[in-house]
Amino acid sequence: MPYTADKPGSTPDPEALRARIPGWGSDLDPADRPAFPREQPGIETGAHWELPPQQSGAAGRERSVEHERVTPVFGTAQPLHGVSGAIRRFAYDRFSEGQTAHWLLLVAGDRVDAMTAHAASLFSKRPDDPITESGVTGEVAHRPIASRVGRGRIDLKHSWMDPILVVGPWVVAAVLGVKLVRAVFLPASKRGK
Amino acid sequence: MKAMTYRGPYKIRVEEKPDPKIEHPNDAIVRVELAAICGSDLHLYHGMLPDTRVGHTFGHEFIGRVEQVGSSVQNLKVGDRVMVPFNIFCGSCFFCARGLFSNCHNVNANATAVGGIYGYSHTAGGYDGGQAELVRVPFADVGPAVIPDGVDPEDALLLTDAFSTGYFGAQLADIVEGDTAVVFGAGPIGLAAARSAWLMGAGRVIVVDYLDYRLRKAEEFAYAETINFGQVNDIVRELKKQTGGLGADVVIEAVGAEADGHVLQHVTSAKLKLQGGSPIALNWAIDSVRKGGTISVMGAYGPLFSAVKFGDAMNKGVTMRMNQAPVKRQWPRLLEHIAAGHITPSDMVTHRIPLEHIAEGYHIFSSKLDDIIKPVITVA
């Protein structure tokens, strides 16, 4: 096709579109688009303060070093604790958001958090249960085969990895646990048998 | 109270947690009636977002009744039925004063690059979310709004993020009459963006996905043409063919961090977490938009780097626009569209799941079983 100044193809008929699609063109005028322009000074927000009062408990709370202070309001959902907390605090105290180390340390903290929580749960009234917590029981009555087979789902090329990601860490932890117990309680002469 | 809690990647359960408390004079406590699982919740569920702590309660789409208010709350009272935007924002900082509610600088101590979001890790502020019986709602005079009489509760729920974000995405694309709009992703955001593109006067809307049932929904819900990229050799070439060789005027990327279609990109990001997100849809958007065209990015990505084809974007003179949606700004106009019968956001709801069974809900949604598109969590 030769390229000309015209847009290729036929121009859609606005009346036909209006008849086929409810509301077609009702926001054609940018004035009817609430996100236009994107920055709109003076929007009434409901705020009745210039600076919100400070939420208590800010002292010692982790913050991005790019902030000059802990924000007036902050989340208190899961305070830092334990080894994962130490890793995360190091990430916050030492590295800005612009440094990859900040995020990689936070990811490491997440994995340590999950591992220690799983281990601690074994000594609690409610140990982690990878079967119910993975929700795999939802396969029942939700067409597990018909949803996947014969429908050209390209994600099946890699979804076989998911069970490994879910169960794998448990297997690795069990193997390491057995090795640790053997190392501690079995004499060196009997190990490996 | 009962709440969904994160136990590590791919593992969640319902636990008894202490009830949330008023921690700031402008807080409210909301008793949740309906919540939803968002596609972006799956990024958390899969362990992709840094600083997602064990015990965290997800859920940034919810409606409910005000149970308690702080001493400075003026605009809400106990018993009000409210819809709560997924953004937590103060209404008074440099960014809020300009309408950039999703970029509030006063609510997220953990990061400056993202505002506050309910139940979306400590990187988004460390607030527990609404997949629970009760939730703390900061800045109650600024964020929540009373649900108008006559509005269907599920329509209101869908305005707290999914539909509002899709509508915002269509606006960022700067559509002019007759434009050809391509939407990558036929999940809730993509469906809403495709439906909204018509409101802006698009001449053609083409939705791209690989799930046949979602493409059927795009045809019914969004009146869109569809392409299954799993059934064409090269989606970029196909889109060029469909647009006379030039490419689409605008492309809306509504896929985000777990995009599929290239095994290496997907595995290095979604499975191995070596990228902030899989940029497959983003790269397809860059390659399939016309020169001088506009890309609107609504897909959510993590803060780490991703392998984006930026050279092509530069050489083509592409305008890329993006943000977390300031959803409350969208509500007055969207409520008008609902009242006029132009849109019915709740038509995209496919599953209603009790909170007690939320782990199964996440698995079904993550594994895309049972033709799931939008799962709603019934709490009350």
Q: What is the mean pLDDT of chain B?
A: 97
Render B120-133 in DSSP notation, one character per residue: S-GGGT----SSBS
Share of chain A above pLDDT 70, in %: 98
Mean pLDDT of B334-353: 98
pLDDT at B206: 98
B window 212-231, beta carbon within 8 A of A: 212, 223, 228, 230-231
Residue ranges of the domains in chain B?
2-161+326-378, 162-322
**Minimum Cα–Cα distance from B118: chain A residue:** A75
pLDDT at B368: 96
* CB-closest option in B196, B362, B369 to A144: B369
pLDDT at A192: 59
Cα–Cα distance, A183 to A177 (Å, whole number): 10
Mean pLDDT of A126-131: 93
Q: Tell me, yes or no, if B250 comes closer than 8 A to chain A by beta carbon.
A: no
pLDDT at A187: 78
Average the pLDDT over each of A28-32, A152-156, B173-177, B348-352 and give the range with the smallest value.
Answer: A152-156
Does the pLDDT of residue B373 top 80, yes or no? yes
Does the pLDDT of residue B288 top 70, yes or no? yes
Cα–Cα distance, B55 to A112 (Å, whole number): 14
Q: How do beta strands B248-253 and B180-184 pair?
A: parallel
A window 121-150, beta carbon within 8 A of B: 126, 128-130, 132-139, 142-144, 147-148
CA dist list (Å): B176 to A27, A29, B84, B200: 10, 9, 31, 7
* CB-closest option in A35, A57, A103 to B303: A103
pLDDT at B346: 98
Mapped onto helix, strand or coil, the DSSP state of residue B352 is strand
Q: Which of B285, B265, B284 is nearest to B275 (CA)?
A: B265
Q: What is the pTM of this model?
A: 0.95
Cα–Cα distance, B256 to B184 (Å, whole number): 10
**Minimum Cα–Cα distance from A29: chain B residue:** B200
Q: B100 and A39 in contact by Cβ < 8 A? A: yes
* CB-closest option in B23, B72, B370 to A55: B23
Residue linked to tokens 């039925």: B81
Q: Tell me, yes or no, if A13 comes closer than 8 A to chain B by beta carbon.
A: no
Average the pLDDT over each of A160-169, B46-55, B189-198 and give the range with the smallest value.
Answer: A160-169
pLDDT at B107: 98
Q: B210 and A100 in contact by Cβ < 8 A? A: no
Q: Tell me, yes or no, if A50 comes closer than 8 A to chain B by beta carbon.
A: yes
- The tokens for A155 are 């994600």
What is the band of A90 on the pLDDT scale with cuts at 50, 70, 90? very high
B window 83-142, beta carbon within 8 A of A: 88-92, 96-101, 105-113, 116, 122-123, 125-128, 138-139, 141-142
Does the pLDDT of residue B348 top 80, yes or no? yes
Share of chain B above pLDDT 70, in %: 100
In chain A, residues with a C-beta closer than 8 Å to the C-beta of B304 are 100, 103-104
Does the pLDDT of residue B163 top 90, yes or no? yes
A window 170-189, beta carbon within 8 A of B: none
Q: A71 and B230 in contact by Cβ < 8 A? A: no
In chain A, residues with a C-beta closer than 8 Å to the C-beta of B212 are 151-152
Torsion sign (Cα): A39, A43, A47, A48: positive
Q: How many CB pairs under 8 A join A and B?
A: 314
pLDDT at B372: 98
Q: What is the pLDDT of residues B90-143, one digit of tens each?
A: 999 999 999 999 999 999 999 999 999 999 999 999 999 999 999 999 999 999
Cα–Cα distance, A42 to B207 (Å, whole number): 36
pLDDT at B271: 85
Q: What is the pLDDT of residues B61-71, one digit of tens each?
A: 999 999 999 99
- Give the total residue count for chain A: 193
Q: Among the CATH numbers 3.30.1360.30, 1.10.10.60, 3.40.50.720, 3.40.47.10, which is that of B162-322? A: 3.40.50.720
* CB-closest option in A21, A55, A154 to B210: A154
Q: A74 and B126 in contact by Cβ < 8 A? A: yes
Q: Tell me, yes or no, if B327 comes closer than 8 A to chain A by beta carbon.
A: no
Q: B86 or A157: whose pLDDT is higher?
A: B86
Residue linked to tokens 């085969």: A145
Q: A171 or A139: whose pLDDT is higher?
A: A139
CA dist list (Å): B191 to B28, B66, B217, B253, B260: 32, 31, 8, 11, 18
Average the pLDDT over each of B56-70, B71-85, B145-159, B271-285 and give the range with the smallest value.
Answer: B271-285
Does the pLDDT of residue A193 top 70, yes or no? no
What is the band of A177 on the pLDDT scale with cuts at 50, 70, 90? confident
Contacts of B195 (CB under 8 A, 6+ apart): B166, B221, B222, B223, B343
Mean pLDDT of A5-32: 94
What is the band of A1 on the pLDDT scale with cuts at 50, 70, 90? low
- The tokens for B168 are 């915002």
B109 close to A65: Cβ distance less than 8 angstroms: no
pLDDT at B78: 98
Mean pLDDT of B331-356: 98
Q: Tell me the fold of B2-161+326-378.
A: Quinone Oxidoreductase; Chain A, domain 1 (3.90.180)
What is the band of A3 on the pLDDT scale with cuts at 50, 70, 90? confident
Q: A45 and B109 in contact by Cβ < 8 A? A: no
Mapped onto helix, strand or coil, the DSSP state of residue B351 is strand
- The tokens for B137 are 């709602």
Q: B192 or A184: whose pLDDT is higher?
A: B192
What is the band of A188 on the pLDDT scale with cuts at 50, 70, 90? confident
Mean pLDDT of A53-81: 97
Q: What is the pLDDT of residues B1-23, one digit of tens each?
A: 999 999 999 999 999 999 999 99
pLDDT at B274: 85
In chain B, residues with a C-beta closer than 8 Å to the C-beta of A92 are 110
